Amino acid sequence: MRKNLVAANWKMHGSRSENSRLLEAIKLGVSSLDCEVLICPPSIYLEQLEKELAGTNLALGAQNAYPKHSGAFTGEVSFAMLTEFCCTHVIVGHSERRELFAESNDFVAEKFIAALEAGLSPILCVGETKAQRERGETNSVILAQLKAVVNRAGIAAFANALVAYEPVWAIGSGLTASPQQAQEVHAEIRRFLAEQDSDISKKLSILYGGSVKGSNAAELFRQKDIDGGLVGGASLNAEEFITICKAFD
């Protein structure tokens, strides 16, 4: 059975005091829900959140890591290091990593494999730009991103992973794919993976990650192939994020 999950991607936001205030409100608001909740802070705050989430029903994830176990990679952290802070998940292939840091499909696949080898569940992000959508390239772009991972990791690797569809044109823009547009892409992702292994495809959770808000979460989550959300800006507002999580109720 597919699990419902809402993941908070705090991106490069936060401070010790802000984190504590936000977490305190979130913990009170999501204490008994029908979905799993994951918090992904900047890596420098993982130790703080590990302590503050202890004993709660919230899981801890990371936003990024480097696919080598150790070495002369100044400024990077390895996937194995993340496990020392009780991380269960890690985001790979986010559009901001692909665009701002020139991460290729092959490099994302390398990260995906490294995450699994460290015992983490990767959340593989895929998505198209506005120009690509306007040219009718949405499916071809997303399938190329998926194929790069399937070809290197194998379809069996997806048994311990999640996929997040994030239309690049909707991230931070205030725009959102309509529930129907999102469902069409989610269905295409599941169809492609079903061609490789139908059982894994049926059990795979696919999150939507394009400007999820309290006002659109319920309608998005009612779609057949949308199993949750990867939430950016709205996850920095406790009331908004709690409303999104409660959409599953």
Question: In this structure, what token pair is assigned to residue 183?
Answer: 């469902």
Amino acid at 46: L
Model pLDDT, residue 206: 98
Decide if 242 contacts 26 (C-beta within 8 A).
Answer: yes
Model pLDDT, residue 73: 98
Q: What are phi and psi of 172, to 5 degrees?
A: 70, 5
Amino acid at 192: F
CA 66 to chain centre: 17
Mean residue pLDDT across the chain: 95
- What distance separates the 2 farthest-apart alpha carbons in the chain? 49
E runs forming strands in 197-244 = 206-208, 228-231
Q: Quickly state the pLDDT bin for 217 (edges 50, 70, 90).
A: very high
Place of tokens 């899981």: 59
Asked whether residue 8 carries a pLDDT value surpassing 90, the answer given is yes
Beta-bridge partner residues of 207: 164
User: What would the mean pLDDT of 219-225 be, rounded to a whole number?
Assistant: 97
Q: Mind listing the pLDDT tens digit for each residue in 55-73?
A: 999 999 999 999 999 999 9
Amino acid at 178: S
CA 79 to chain centre: 16
Angle between helices 46-53 and 16-29 (to 10 degrees): 30
Model pLDDT, residue 32: 77
Instruction: Give pTM, 2 decimals.
Output: 0.96
Q: What are phi and psi of 189, to 5 degrees?
A: -60, -45
Candidates 9, 62, 63, 1; CA nearest to 227 is: 1
- The CB-side HSE value for 155 (13 A sphere, CA atoms) comes to 15
Which residues are known catalytic residues?
94, 166
Decide if 39 contacts 20 (C-beta within 8 A).
Answer: no
- Would you put residue 222 in left (φ > 0), alpha (ψ -120 to 50) or beta? alpha
Contacts of 10 (CB under 8 A, 6+ apart): 39, 40, 41, 42, 63, 235, 236
